[in-house]
Each structure stands twice: as C-alpha cells, then as structure tokens.
C-alpha cells in the first residue's frame, strides 16, 4: 500500500495543533503529541498518529475532557490512586507515572492505579519515564473488550498490554512492551489491509474455533490470549490479561472486563458500567532500593551481553533483547521520517481541514 513520509517534527507540530484545537492547554497538547508519536517512532504504527482522529471523535462524543482536573484521590507512602477526570490517557498516564516515580524516590517503589482515563497510547512511553531516574518502570492498561478467555466465546478482555522497562547501564535498556494476546490488534489490522490469512492461535470465530479469517472480529469472533489454545498455554495469556484488568481497574474503580468503554466512538457504551472510564496501572522501583546501582548495572550489562550473543538457530542473525526492534525503528524514523499509509494521510488531511491546521 502506498505511503507518504513525514518528518517527526512535522507530525509532532500537527498533532499538537489538533490537541490545541480541541481545547487542550499548551503543555498538555505538547505532551500528548509526544506520547502519541512515540508509537510511530518505535514502529507501533497502530498506536500512533493513525489514532489521532479516533481521539478527536471521542472528544466530539463528549467522552474526552480536554481540560481535566487530574488528581490523586487516595495514597500511602508507596501507592496512589489517580482520577483522570476523563482526560486524554496520553496526559493522564504520564501524570500518574510521575506520581509513581516520586513515590519511589521516597519509599523505594511507587505503584499507581488510575481510573476515569482514556486510551494512553503505547505502554512503553510511560514505563520508560522511569529509566532516566535509574528506576525500573512498569505500565499496563485495560482496553476495549476484544479478547475471549480460554474456553469462552465472549469478548471480555482487551489486548491489555504490559510494559516493563529496566535500565541497562552502558547497554540500551531492556524494554518489553507487549499485548497479552498472541498478536496485538494492530498486527491483525495489517493482515486485514493486505487481505492475508491470520496465523493459527491469533483469532477465533464466534463459535470459538480457531480461524484464519483476519476479519472474524466483525462477525462475533475474538482475539486469543497469548498461547492461542489451552494446550499451548492460552490460560496463561488469559491470566496475564486478567491481572492487567484487575490491577488497572478493580484497584482503582475504573471499568473492567466487558464494561471497558470502547475506543471507537461509534460503538455504544456498555450498560451498567461499574466504574469510571478505563484504567491503567504504573510502577516504579528504584534500582538502588535493592542494590548499589553500580553492582546492578554491572550484572545487567552482563545479562544483556550474554543473551544478545547466544547461539542462534540457523537463519537467525541475533538473539534480540526486548526493546531492540523498537530502538532500531526509532533510529531510522528519526533520521528518515515516518511513513504513513495513504488512508492515514487522508484521515489527517481531513482533520487539518476541519480544524484549519497545517499538516
């Protein structure tokens, strides 16, 4: 499919303009643009500027508050609950992660559960905020229900990602950022656009049979938890997605399971919602709350080097450290720009026209 390439600066300025246009403050619009575009930089195209018009539609539907009063509503020395006041998740999440980091500075670790938020972009951005403080960062969120638990035909969980970012000393950080499903929904969307079949274990049809139909979500199908089938451990993926849901929403008072508000603004809201908005969960652990930094980094460097230089199966060049592929994308895209598919460009052009902004 045809693509056009834009520089990071160009997309960043445009995205900020759109957030300003819907009423965000200058600092919020700057931050939201940075968070959203970190996905495009890191090669997670499904979570970047391609979603900008989706956020705008949520704002138009009255589901996003452009001037939220984000605040801590409950706390202990190492924990807090943050209410996002229906703000952009792109702004609520860094606020909450900052609370976690501040708690960790004092108590060794900080853990923050968030209610009343919206889609927060990529999990990785928030977790990685901890790295520059020599802390381990964690980030997770629940999301629109698209995933069936093992043995179920109902969509009760989101793709509920987990990110764990660990500083690597002289080596680049270890950053595992992953959906708790076999494949993220964005991967499926790529197959849909290319009219290609879905691999086994990615998706089931409405009766719960594994299917290669990449469009099966439209006919009552569901994404599958990591593992794909019971025999191959899907009950573990289901458990991981559930833990994300509970930490993000049952601990905070957000909506959980099938009651999580859907990202597409045209999908009706669930009935009898038990909480407020969607939920996130963040953690920060000071490395030196456990060991002197130098000792930790020495071992972390050795860990990374040992794994990176492991013997490979024939045909594979290297064993990758989590975060390597995204870092490679970022280097290329900062230098050469960010390629956008034509439908995304058209979507952004329509936004530019609507708000009188320049793309």
Which residues inside 302-341 make contact with its own copies, applying CB under 8 A?
302-303, 306-307, 310-314, 316, 318-320, 322
Q: Is 165 helix (H, G, I), strand (E, B) or coil?
A: strand
Integer Cα distance of 104 and 97 in angstroms: 10
Q: For its own copies, which residue of 8, 46, 57, 108 counts as binding (CB under 8 A)?
A: 108
Residue number with CB closer to its own copies (9 or 151): 151
Integer Cα distance of 333 and 205 in angstroms: 37
Residues 132-191 that bind its own copies (CB under 8 A): 149-154, 156, 164, 166, 174, 176, 178, 180-183
Contact between 271 and its own copies (CB under 8 A)?
no
Integer Cα distance of 166 and 148 in angstroms: 31
Residue number with CB closer to its own copies (64 or 146): 146
CB of 315 to its own copies, least distance (A): 9
Site string for its own copies, 208-237 (x = CB under 8 A): xx----------------xxx--xxx-xxx
Are β-strands 135-141 and 162-166 bridged in parallel, bridged antiparallel, or unpaired?
antiparallel
What does the longest C-alpha to C-alpha distance in the chain come to?
A: 55
Look at residues 37, 43, 236, 261 and name the one whose alpha carbon lies nearest to residue 142: 261
Residue number with CB closer to its own copies (68 or 275): 275
Q: For its own copies, which residue of 124, 261, 275, 277 counts as binding (CB under 8 A)?
A: 275
Q: Is 284 helix (H, G, I), strand (E, B) or coil?
A: strand
End-to-end Cα distance, the chain = 21
CB of 181 to its own copies, least distance (A): 8
Site string for its own copies, 55-94 (x = CB under 8 A): -------------------xxxxxx-x-------------
Residues 110-139 that bind its own copies (CB under 8 A): 111, 113
Look at residues 165, 157, 88 and name the one whose alpha carbon lies nearest to residue 120: 88
């Amino acid at each position: 499919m045809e693509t056009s390439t834009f520089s990071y600066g160009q997309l960043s300025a445009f995205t900020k303009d759109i957030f300003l246009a819907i009423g965000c403050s200058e600092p919020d619009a700057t931050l939201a643009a940075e968070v959203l575009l970190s996905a495009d930089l890191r090669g997670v195209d499904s979570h970047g500027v391609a979603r900008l018009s989706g956020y705008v539609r949520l704002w138009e539907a009255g589901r996003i508050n452009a001037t939220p009063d984000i605040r801590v509503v409950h706390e202990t020395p190492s924990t807090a609950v943050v209410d996002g006041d229906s703000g952009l998740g792109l702004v609520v999440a860094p606020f909450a992660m900052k609370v976690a980091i501040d708690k960790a500075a004092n108590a060794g670790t900080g853990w923050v559960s968030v209610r009343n938020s919206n889609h927060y972009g990529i999990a990785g951005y928030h977790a990685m905020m901890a790295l520059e403080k020599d802390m381990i960062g964690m980030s997770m969120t629940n999301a629109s229900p698209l995933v069936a638990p093992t043995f179920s035909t109902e969509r009760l969980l989101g793709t509920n990602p987990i990110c764990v970012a660990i500083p690597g000393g002289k080596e680049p950080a270890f950053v595992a950022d992953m959906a708790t499903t076999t494949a993220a929904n964005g991967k499926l969307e790529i197959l849909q656009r290319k009219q290609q079949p879905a691999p086994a274990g990615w998706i089931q049809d409405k009766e719960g049979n594994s299917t290669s139909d990449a469009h099966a979500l439209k006919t009552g199908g569901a994404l599958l938890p990591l593992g794909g089938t019971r025999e191959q451990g899907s009950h573990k993926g289901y458990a991981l997605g559930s833990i994300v849901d509970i930490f993000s929403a049952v601990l905070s008072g957000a909506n959980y399971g099938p009651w999580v508000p859907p990202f597409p603004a045209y999908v009706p809201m669930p009935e009898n919602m038990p909480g407020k908005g969607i939920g996130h969960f963040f953690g920060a652990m000071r490395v030196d709350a456990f060991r002197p930094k130098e000792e930790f980094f020495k071992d972390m460097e050795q860990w990374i080097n040992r794994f990176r230089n492991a013997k490979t199966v024939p045909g594979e060049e290297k064993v990758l450290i989590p975060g390597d592929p995204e870092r490679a994308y970022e280097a290329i895209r900062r230098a050469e720009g960010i390629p956008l598919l034509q439908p995304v460009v058209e979507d952004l052009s329509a936004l530019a026209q609507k708000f009188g902004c320049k793309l």
